[in-house]
Amino acid sequence: MQTADRLKKIPPYLFMELRNKINKARAEGKDVISLAIGDPVDPTPQPVIDALAKAAQDPENHRYPTDEEWGMKSFRDAVARWYARRYNVELNPSGEIVGLIGSKEGCHHFAMGVINPGDTVLVTDPGYPGYKPSIWFVDATPHPVPMRAENDFLVDFSDIPSDVAKKASAFYLNYPNNPTGAVATRAFLNDLVAFARDNDIAVCYDNPYSEVVFGVERLSFLSVEGAKDVGVELNSLSKPYNMTGWRIGMACGNPEIVKAIATSKANTDSGVFNAVQYAGIAALDECDADIEQMLERYASRREKVLATLRELGWTYDPPKGAFYLWVPVPEGYTSASFCDFMLEKCAVVLAPGAAYGQYGEGFVRFSLTVEESRLDEALQRMRDQLPKLSFA
Ligand SMILES: Cc1ncc(COP(=O)(O)O)c(C=O)c1O
């Protein structure tokens, strides 16, 4: 049976190898704790569940979704209210917003709607592993752009050779950043708009962690002048409302790109189940307090991990976003060998930085999306089991 050549470009899924190692350790009887995956364990807020249950009782909602690929008008209105309230961004629900089955889906439809075969597309390195496959699926070529610790993991636009910038048609990036936790500043977003405008690049600003910041300003790409001229922001209910399994998000901004995404969706899926959209409206309108609680939980877990790391010799001042800690490995280790060491010594799984790109080497990612008691146990094992570590 023939399968498409483009599939050959896709490396084994990062977490597949980890899963194999975890399974092996579990088969050996070890009580493995995974701090590798960013999937919240805390429950979805009750108003969201209630809205789903109510909407699921109505047979009207059992049909194809209303307004199919665009999302229900009432959902798009709720997105517009949310952006106005939380980011001071004005959006027209008719033309500047399209509902998504999560922002991962949006990355794919952005590629389908915006990128041509043979194009060069900029992606950050380290970067979210979802971007490159979307680019490969449309037979374009990703060009990695480094994110370095010395630049607070923000893209330094001078790292992009001018001939590459000129020929690139799009740029995928996200801040608050997965995997580094870096946060954007307004100055950076202004530079991004200028860079995109100067080089005629469509920006896919993927912002599912927009609400997950610790003591710094929540920022939307769309809040800086000119952003809507050059790109869209993808956002998602997955992370702020513990709704990863519900599959609901939105793409907002440039009307031509939004329409291109809707056209791709119209020919692929038929939109989000209406009942999930009603639940999404409840999340966007009624759950600001739940976000505060979510942030308190992550802030407390973050402090616990940092305290343990400092006790063990790390001098580490992390960036202020996302529910990840991107931690330099001790001297003498690569990201993979330190992950193996942690699994061996503590039965704790971390994500190796090299899996996010060549500039991810030298780091491991801790995720804070784990139950309190499991996190405490993982940190206790680290304090008990790890030898004295040294750092460059
Ligand atoms: C940067 C980034 N984009 C997109 C996603 C996928 O989000 P969603 O659940 O909205 O598809 C993730 C999930 O981990 C992510 O880290």
Question: What mean pLDDT is reported for the chain?
Answer: 96
- Atom number of ligand 1 nearest to Cα 206: 3
R_g of the chain, CA atoms, integer Å: 21
> Which pair of structure tokens corresponds to residue 61?
């909602």
Residue 271, helix vs strand vs coil: coil
pLDDT of residue 210 exceeding 90, the answer is yes
Report pLDDT digits (tens) over 54-70: 999 999 999 999 888 89
Cα(303) to ligand 1 centroid in Å equals: 24
Q: What local confidence, expressed as pLDDT, does residue 260 receive?
A: 98
> Does the structural domain 46-287 have CATH classification 3.90.700.10?
no
What separation in angstroms does the CA of 97 have from each of 82, 341, 344? 12, 46, 47
Closest C-alpha among 368, 378, 308, 299 to residue 42:
368
Q: What local confidence, expressed as pLDDT, does residue 285 receive?
A: 98
Query: Which residue of 104, 244, 246 sits with most ligand 1 atoms within 8 Å of its CB, as the best mutation to test the pocket?
Result: 104
Q: How confident is the model at residue 111 (pLDDT cuts 50, 70, 90)?
A: very high
**Any residues with CB less than 8 A from the CB of 385 and at least 6 apart, and which?**
345, 346
> Which pair of structure tokens corresponds to residue 290?
């739940």
Cα(60) to ligand 1 centroid in Å equals: 30
- Atom number of ligand 1 nearest to Cα 105: 11
**Any residues with CB less than 8 A from the CB of 123 and at least 6 apart, and which?**
131, 132, 135, 142, 143, 144, 145, 171, 172, 173
Q: What local confidence, expressed as pLDDT, does residue 17 receive?
A: 77
Name the residue with the closest Cα to ligand 1, atom 6.
104
Which residue type does 28 have? E
Helix (H) or strand (E) holding 346: helix 335-346
Instruction: Name the more confident of 25 and 368.
Output: 368
Mean pLDDT of 247-267: 97
Q: How confident is the model at residue 206 (pLDDT cuts 50, 70, 90)?
A: very high
Burial class (CB in 10 A: 0-12, 13-18, 19+), 31: exposed
Q: What local confidence, expressed as pLDDT, does residue 18 receive?
A: 78
Name the residue with the closest Cα to ligand 1, atom 16.
178
Residue 137, helix vs strand vs coil: helix
- Point out which residues pair with 30 in neighbouring strands: none
Q: Which CATH number fits domain 5-43+289-385: 3.30.360.10, 3.90.1310.10, 3.90.1150.10, 3.30.70.20?
A: 3.90.1150.10
Mean pLDDT of 370-375: 96
pLDDT of residue 392 exceeding 80, the answer is no
Report DSSP state, residue 213. B
Report pLDDT digits (tens) over 270-288: 899 999 999 999 999 999 9
Enumerate the domain spans of the chain.
Answer: 5-43+289-385, 46-287
Q: How confident is the model at residue 264 (pLDDT cuts 50, 70, 90)?
A: very high
Q: How confident is the model at residue 14 (pLDDT cuts 50, 70, 90)?
A: low
Mean pLDDT of 211-237: 98
HEC readout, 288-320: HHHHHHHHHHHHHHHHHHHHHHHHCCCCCCCCC
How far apart (Å, rounded) are the C-alpha atoms in residues 137 and 33?
34
Q: How confident is the model at residue 90 (pLDDT cuts 50, 70, 90)?
A: very high
CB-CB contact of 204 with 348 (8 Å): no
pTM value is: 0.96
pLDDT of residue 179 exceeding 90, the answer is yes
- Atom number of ligand 1 nearest to Cα 244: 9
Q: What local confidence, expressed as pLDDT, does residue 13 receive?
A: 67
Report pLDDT digits (tens) over 339-370: 999 999 999 999 999 999 999 999 999 999 99
Same fold: 5-43+289-385 with 46-287: no
**Percentage of residues of the chain with pLDDT beyond 90:** 92
Q: What local confidence, expressed as pLDDT, does residue 363 receive?
A: 97
Residues with CB under 6 Å of ligand 1 are: 38, 102-104, 128, 130, 174, 178, 206, 208, 236, 238, 244, 249
CB-CB contact of 325 with 365 (8 Å): yes
pLDDT of residue 20 exceeding 90, the answer is no
- DSSP of 140-187: -EEEEEEB-GGGTT-B-GGGS-HHHHHHEEEEEE-SSPTTT-----HH
Q: What local confidence, expressed as pLDDT, does residue 70 receive?
A: 96
Cα(352) to ligand 1 centroid in Å equals: 18
- Point out which residues pair with 251 in neighbouring strands: 98, 234
Q: What local confidence, expressed as pLDDT, does residue 10 receive?
A: 87
Q: What local confidence, expressed as pLDDT, does residue 21 receive?
A: 85
Which residue type does 251 have? A
Report pLDDT digits (tens) over 134-162: 999 999 999 999 999 999 999 999 999 99
